[in-house]
């Protein structure tokens, strides 16, 4: 009989939580401290060409790039283009430059590959997607809420579950905590801007959320790129036709559910299933 073999998240989990916050403004400092307290991971989408802009309100100021590595340690830093244009309206000659120059500047600063993106103002088109792909961008987030828990079908058109100001936000994350069917992989993907909490005087939204969803044994807390990299690695695993063994060619462990058991496939090894 054919064995049931499913990909699991690291540690044999089947739920993942990720966040995506844009623009790299000063209230990110408070957001990071709230998330760190509860072990929640976030991707921060930043613009390398806007550091010197000044604003009326202090919460609109951007964080100095020299602070990025320390502040965002343990999280992901991703591109949000150099100057935040509504990029689908930009000349196509500038689309690639907006991605690749932001990426280059961030990589020079951080000394790690930067492969994520959130489309500024949620703007994209087929041409923009091609420009992102040509710039080596592995995934890019839109602002179209799915209100669901499915994994993305197209990483360069990655629709989040919802914004934190969604009227159903609390119900959406409470329902996520209750999901238990291990035959599915579930993703809760929340996005926003930290300055909105400051501007709207509602930090309690994210504090309550972090307290409720943080520190759960059955949730994998991951950045956006960690999800993409893990799932792509899982796809590279070579499984014997009869399901009796699998070869993991990756440099990281991959977890499979085999019938009712979790099996860890160690990197570079053949493992019996």
- Give me the residues that bind Zn ion (CB under 5 A), please: 22-23, 120
Q: What DSSP string describes 177-199?
A: HH---TTS-EEEEEEE-HHHHHH
Q: Which of 210, 225, 224 is nearest to 36 (CA)?
A: 210
Closest residue to bound Zn ion by CB: 22
Per DSSP, what are the bridge partners of residue 187?
16
CB of 84 vs Zn ion, minimal distance in Å: 6
Question: Residue 169: which residues within 8 A CB-CB, separation 6 or more?
Answer: 162, 163, 190, 205, 209
CB of 70 vs Zn ion, minimal distance in Å: 22
> Which C-beta is closer to Zn ion: that of 39 or that of 49?
49
Q: Which of 139, 94, 92, 151 is nearest to 114 (CA)?
A: 139
> Which C-beta is closer to Zn ion: that of 22 or that of 198?
22
* DSSP helix/strand/coil, 109: helix
Cα first-last separation, the chain:
14
CB of 80 vs Zn ion, minimal distance in Å: 5
> Which C-beta is closer to Zn ion: that of 142 or that of 250?
142
> Which C-beta is closer to Zn ion: that of 123 or that of 262?
123
* DSSP helix/strand/coil, 26: coil
According to DSSP, the β-strands at 116-118 and 139-141 are parallel
CB of 190 vs Zn ion, minimal distance in Å: 16
Q: How far apart are CA 103 and CA 117, in angstroms?
A: 9
CB of 119 vs Zn ion, minimal distance in Å: 9
Q: Which of 200, 182, 261, 229 is nearest to 76 (CA)?
A: 229
CA distances from 87 to 44, 83, 96, 125 (A): 19, 10, 10, 9
> Which C-beta is closer to Zn ion: that of 123 or that of 125?
123
> Which C-beta is closer to Zn ion: that of 116 or that of 120?
120
CB of 187 vs Zn ion, minimal distance in Å: 22
Q: How far apart are CA 71 and CA 44, in angstroms?
A: 11
> Which C-beta is closer to Zn ion: that of 22 or that of 28?
22
- Contact between 263 and 270 (Cβ < 8 Å): no
CB of 186 vs Zn ion, minimal distance in Å: 27
């Amino acid at each position: 009989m054919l064995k049931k073999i499913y990909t699991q998240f690291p540690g044999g989990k089947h739920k993942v939580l990720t966040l995506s916050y844009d623009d790299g403004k000063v209230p990110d400092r408070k957001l990071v401290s709230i998330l760190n307290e509860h072990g929640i991971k976030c991707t921060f989408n930043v613009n390398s060409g806007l550091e010197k802009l000044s604003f009326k309100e202090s919460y609109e100021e951007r964080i100095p790039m020299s602070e990025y590595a320390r502040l965002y340690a343990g999280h992901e830093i991703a591109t949000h283009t150099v100057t935040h244009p509504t990029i689908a309206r930009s000349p196509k000659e500038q689309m690639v430059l907006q991605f690749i120059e932001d990426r280059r500047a961030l990589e020079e600063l951080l000394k790690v590959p930067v492969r994520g993106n959130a489309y500024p103002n949620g703007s994209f088109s087929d041409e923009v997607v091609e420009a992102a792909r040509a710039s080596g961008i592995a995934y890019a987030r839109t602002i179209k809420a799915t209100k669901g828990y499915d994994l993305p079908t197209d990483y360069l058109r990655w629709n989040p579950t919802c914004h934190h100001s969604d009227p159903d936000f609390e119900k959406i994350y409470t329902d996520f905590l209750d999901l238990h069917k291990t035959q599915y992989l579930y993703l809760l993907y929340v996005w926003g801007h930290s300055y909105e909490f400051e501007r709207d005087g509602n930090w309690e939204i994210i504090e309550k959320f972090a307290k409720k969803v943080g520190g759960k044994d059955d949730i994998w807390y991951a950045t956006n790129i960690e999800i993409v990299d893990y799932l792509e690695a899982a796809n590279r695993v070579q499984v014997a036709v009869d399901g009796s063994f699998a070869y993991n060619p990756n440099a990281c462990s991959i977890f499979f559910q085999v019938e009712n058991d979790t099996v860890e496939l160690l990197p570079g090894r053949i493992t019996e299933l």
